[in-house]
Chains A and B, each alone.
Chain A
Amino acid sequence: MANMTLIEALLMAMDEELARDERVFITGEDVGKRGGVFRATQGLYEKYGATRVIDSPLAELSIVAIGIGAAMAELRPICEIQFADYIHPAFNQIVNEAAKTYYRSDGQWRVPLTIRTPYGGGIGGGLYHSQSVESFFAHVPGLKVVIPSTPHDAKGLLKSAVRDPNPVLFFEPKKGYRAIKGEVPETDYTVPIGPARIAREGRDISVFAYGMMAHYAVIAAEKVAREDGIDAEVVDLRTLLPVDKQAILDSVKKTGKALVVYEDNLTMGYGAEVAAIIADEAFEFLDGPVKRLAGPDVPAMPFSHSMQEFFMVNPDKIAAAIRDLTAY
Chain B
Amino acid sequence: MSTETLALPRTQLSEETLLEMYWMMLLSRRVDERAWVLHRQGKITFHVSAIGHEAAQIGAAFAINRGVDYVNPYYRDLALSLAIGTTALDFMLGLFAKVGDPFSGGRQMPSHFNSHRLNIISGSSVVASQVPQTSGLAFAIKYRQTQGMVDPKDTSQPRLALTCLGEGSTSQGDWHEGLNWAGVHHLPMICLVQNNVYAISVPIQSQMAVKNVADRASAYGIVGVTVDGNDVLAMYDVMKEAAERAYNGGGATLVEAKTYRMTPHSSDDDDRSYRTREEVEEWKKKDPISRFQSYLQAEGILTQALIDDYEARARDEVDAAHKTAEAAPSPAPEDTLGDVYAPLED
> In the complex, A57 Cα to B108 Cα: how many Å?
32
Per-residue A-contact encoding for B75-106, CB less than 8 Å = 1, 0 else: 00000000000000000000000000111110
Contacts of B133 in A (CB 8 A): 65-66, 68-69, 72, 93, 97
Pair A92/B126 contact, Cβ less than 8 Å: yes
| A226 within 8 A of partner (CB) | no
B158's nearest neighbour on chain A, judged by CB, is A73
Pair B345/A163 contact, Cβ less than 8 Å: yes
Contacts A73-B140, A93-B129, A96-B129 hold; do A66 and B181 have CB atoms under 8 A apart?
yes
Per-residue A-contact encoding for B168-208, CB less than 8 Å = 1, 0 else: 00000110011011001000000000000000000000000
Say which size band chain A's interface belongs to: 35 or more
Pair B344/A164 contact, Cβ less than 8 Å: yes
> In the complex, A103 Cα to B103 Cα: how many Å?
11
Name the one of B101, B135, B339 contacting A69, with C-beta atoms under 8 angstroms: B135
Name the one of A67, A75, A164 contacting B143, with C-beta atoms under 8 angstroms: A75
| B259 within 8 A of partner (CB) | no
Contacts of B24 in A (CB 8 A): none
Contacts A103-B339, A109-B114, A110-B342 hold; do A65 and B147 have CB atoms under 8 A apart?
no
- Identify which of residues 39-63 in chain A touch chain B, using a CB-to-CB cut-off of 8 Å: 51-52, 56-57, 59, 61-62
Contacts of A107 in B (CB 8 A): 105, 338-339, 342
> In the complex, A22 Cα to B133 Cα: how many Å?
21
| A216 within 8 A of partner (CB) | no
| A106 within 8 A of partner (CB) | yes
| B124 within 8 A of partner (CB) | yes
Please tell me the number of chain B residues within 8 Å of chain A, measured between CB atoms. Answer: 51
Name the one of B104, B107, B126 contacting A97, with C-beta atoms under 8 angstroms: B126
Contacts of A101 in B (CB 8 A): 122
| B141 within 8 A of partner (CB) | yes
Contacts of B134 in A (CB 8 A): 69
- Identify which of residues 72-92 in chain A touch chain B, using a CB-to-CB cut-off of 8 Å: 72-75, 77, 89, 92
Per-residue A-contact encoding for B114-153, CB less than 8 Å = 1, 0 else: 1110000110101001011111111111011011010000
| A195 within 8 A of partner (CB) | no
| B292 within 8 A of partner (CB) | no
Contacts of A93 in B (CB 8 A): 129, 132-133, 174
Contacts A22-B147, A66-B132 hold; do A105 and B104 have CB atoms under 8 A apart?
yes
Pair B129/A105 contact, Cβ less than 8 Å: no
> In the complex, A163 Cα to B181 Cα: how many Å?
25
> In the complex, A229 Cα to B98 Cα: how many Å?
63
User: A276 → chain B, closest Cβ, in Å?
Assistant: 20
| B70 within 8 A of partner (CB) | yes
Pair B137/A72 contact, Cβ less than 8 Å: yes
What's the count of A-B pairs with C-beta under 8 Å? Answer: 148
User: A80 → chain B, closest Cβ, in Å?
Assistant: 15
Contacts A105-B116, A109-B121 hold; do A65 and B129 have CB atoms under 8 A apart?
yes
Contacts A62-B177, A97-B126, A141-B340 hold; do A22 and B149 have CB atoms under 8 A apart?
yes
Contacts A61-B174, A106-B104, A164-B344 hold; do A69 and B122 have CB atoms under 8 A apart?
no
Contacts of B135 in A (CB 8 A): 62, 65-66, 69
| B112 within 8 A of partner (CB) | yes
Pair B146/A51 contact, Cβ less than 8 Å: yes
> In the complex, A57 Cα to B104 Cα: how many Å?
33
A62's nearest neighbour on chain B, judged by CB, is B177
Name the one of B101, B138, B158, B180 contacting A62, with C-beta atoms under 8 angstroms: B180
| A306 within 8 A of partner (CB) | no
Contacts A69-B132, A96-B129, A109-B114 hold; do A102 and B139 have CB atoms under 8 A apart?
no
Contacts of B112 in A (CB 8 A): 104
Pair A51/B339 contact, Cβ less than 8 Å: no
| A133 within 8 A of partner (CB) | no
Pair A109/B140 contact, Cβ less than 8 Å: no
Pair A165/B345 contact, Cβ less than 8 Å: yes
Pair A70/B105 contact, Cβ less than 8 Å: no
User: B120 → chain A, closest Cβ, in Å?
Assistant: 10
Contacts of A108 in B (CB 8 A): 114-116, 122
A-B contact pairs, 21 of them (CB 8 A): A56-B181, A62-B132, A62-B135, A65-B133, A66-B135, A66-B181, A68-B133, A69-B133, A69-B139, A73-B140, A73-B158, A93-B174, A97-B133, A103-B107, A104-B112, A105-B116, A106-B101, A106-B103, A109-B121, A141-B340, A164-B344
